[in-house]
Amino acid sequence: MWWKECKDLQEEIVAMRRELHKIPELGFNLPKTREFVVKKLDEIGIPYTLSEKDSSVIATMKCGKPGKVLALRADMDALPITEDTGLSFSSTHPGCMHACGHDTHAAMLLGAIKVLYPHREELSGEIRFFFQTAEELAKGSAIVIENGGMEGVDAVFGIHIGSILDKTIPCGTIACIPGPIMASYDRFVLDVKGVGCHASTPEKGVDPINIASHIVLALQTINAREIAATDAGVITMGMIRGGEQYNAIPSTVHIEGTTRALKEDIRQKLAKRIGEIAKTTAEAFGGSVDYTMDWGAPPVINDKDMALFAQDAIRDIFGEHMVTYRESPNMGGEDFALYLQKAPGAFMFLSSTNPAKKTDYPHHNPKFDVDEDVFWMGSASFVAIAEKFLK
């Protein structure tokens, strides 16, 4: 019943989140964020190791008796977004914002540690707490794994806050769904090459803007005509840059986009066909293309038994009505998927959508915010899972 202690920590968890929200940092190098996390771990007294490859931290709690190894994860990185929430604790780092709730994830995991650590002698086994960088780049979990974080782990769990599944899920509800729940997410880059010339004599050059336009349209036919309607897949071009003068045809056009899939074979097919179609389209118009696929994370596939285990643990403390079971995978991505390739586990969602508090903006939006009243529930879910798994 230790989860009840999380209620008493609610104000502290909120305060930690607000401090982290002020100091968002990007990618792998999060010096201020790590300093804050380490300070809190020192206050608790739990031992930890610092990564030499990035700013990640792994805290380790050895329990009173030998037993299983449990891993609990929070991400810490932010986004290159200028905040527009008007919050009193808004970002103090220009052009950088916690617009996906990672500040909350770190605060909730710190809250769980503060409750669990004093009870360590009453449990069997070990808990590793991951504070991870670069989730937004789909690279941070790989470093935790390289640093040995998943060695010997029997189960791994994580929580994401917000409206990531569905705005209709009531605030404070936890979704824990067996099977595929999030898509793979990868980034592709196309550098289309032509021959620049004056706009009045296009016949003297090779127009990469024309080529890029045909490539963008052609890539949309992959899902429409090459992927079965029952297999989810997304190809989106999010960036296209080319030209500097209205009366000049440039030599290059730069395109960047992302692919999403719920199955690995569909993920691989999307990548293959993007390269083939871009290459042949460019050649048909006399140009060429350099294609790069920046592999991110595979689909997030929850282990059925671990998802049901987490459901039971959370239902025991919050009741049936606070846990949703429906199958509802979405095309967002998460590098938590790499942990699930190393050990069975489950990734959960904590709804914080509350229109009255203006916390219904989508993730990665300059106005994104979360309902702070549910923070203790995230910590309590971690505690309940740990207590049930290691007792």
SS3 content of the chain, % helix, strand, coil (to 5): 40, 30, 35
Number of domains in the chain: 2
Average pLDDT estimate for 8-14: 97
299 SS3 class: coil
Q: What is the pLDDT of residues 308-340, one digit of tens each?
A: 999 999 999 998 888 876 666 789 999 999 999
State the pLDDT at residue 157: 98
Q: Give Cα separations from 131 to 45, 76, 143, 191 (angstroms).
A: 16, 7, 11, 36
Residues 382, 318, single domain; the answer is yes
Write the CA distances from 160 to 53, 195, 223, 343, 381, integer angstroms. 25, 47, 29, 19, 12
* pLDDT value, residue 310: 96
Residue 165: the pLDDT is 64
Q: Based on the domain organization, do 83 and 161 belong to the same domain?
A: yes
**pLDDT of res. 184:** 96
* pLDDT at 88 (0 to 100): 97
- In the chain, the largest separation of any two C-alpha atoms, in whole Å, equals 80
Q: What is the CATH number of the domain that holds 209?
A: 3.30.70.360
Known binding residue 136? Answer is: yes
**Per-chain mean pLDDT for the chain:** 95
How confident is the model over 52-73, as a mean pLDDT? 97
119 is in an annotated binding site: no
Is residue 145 within 8 Å of residue 339, measured between CB atoms?
yes
Asked whether residue 364 is marked as a ligand-binding residue, the answer is: yes
Contact predicate 168/98, CB 8 Å: no
Residues 172 and 40 in one domain: yes
What pLDDT score was predicted for residue 150? 98
Q: Going by C-beta distance under 8 Å and a sequence separation of 6 or more, which residues neighbour residue 281? A: 211, 214, 215, 218, 289
E strand segments, 38-144: 48-50, 57-62, 65-75, 124-132
Known binder of ligand: residue 102? yes
Q: Which of 132, 202, 179, 196 is nearest to 303 (CA)?
A: 179
- Kindly give, in sequence order, each residue whose CB lies less than 8 Å from that of residue 150, ignoring residues fewer than 6 positions away: 71, 144, 156, 339, 342, 343
Which of 61-75, 99-113, 352-366 has the lowest average pLDDT?
Answer: 352-366
Are 194 and 169 in the same domain?
no
Query: Does residue 241 register a pLDDT over 70?
Result: yes
- For 88, the token pair is 């009193």
How far apart CA 261 and CA 186 sit, in angstroms, is 9
What CA dihedral angle connects 191, 197, 199 and 201, to 10 degrees?
A: -130
- CA–CA dist 321, 260 (Å, integer): 31
Task: Provide the pLDDT confidence category of residue 276 given band limits of 50, 70 and 90.
Answer: very high
Are 163 and 266 found together in one domain? no
Which pLDDT value is given to residue 359?
Answer: 86
Boundary-marking domain end, from 244, 273, 297: 297
Q: What is the pLDDT of residue 270?
A: 98
> Rounded CA gap, 85 and 101, in Å?
13
Sign of CA dihedral 86, 92, 97, 98: negative
Cα–Cα nearest to 100, from 377, 332, 335, 368:
368
206 and 168 together in one domain: no
Tokens 């986004």 found at: 79
Same domain (yes/no): 34, 126? yes
Q: How far apart are alpha carbons 302 and 179 in whole angstroms?
A: 5
Q: Does residue 106 register a pLDDT over 80?
A: yes
Same domain? 322 vs 283: no
Is residue 216 domain-shared with residue 339, that is, in the same domain?
Answer: no
* pLDDT over 80 (residue 166): no
Q: Is the pTM here over 0.75, yes or no?
A: yes
Cα angle: 27, vertex 31, 34; to 5 degrees: 95
Cα separation, 352 vs 172, in Å, equals 6
pLDDT tier for residue 357 given thresholds of 50, 70 and 90: confident
Residue 227 lies in domain: 184-297
Among 297, 331, 364, which residue terminates a domain?
297
The residue out of 246, 262, 297 marking a domain boundary is 297
pLDDT exceeds 70 at position 174: yes
**Pair (216, 150) in one structural domain:** no
21 is in an annotated binding site: no
Among the residue ranges 16-25, 161-170, 380-389, the one predicted with the least confidence is 161-170
Do 166 and 218 share a structural domain?
no
The pLDDT confidence band at residue 354, using thresholds 50, 70 and 90, is: confident
Q: What is the CATH number of the domain that holds 315?
A: 3.40.630.10
- Are 62 and 102 members of one domain? yes
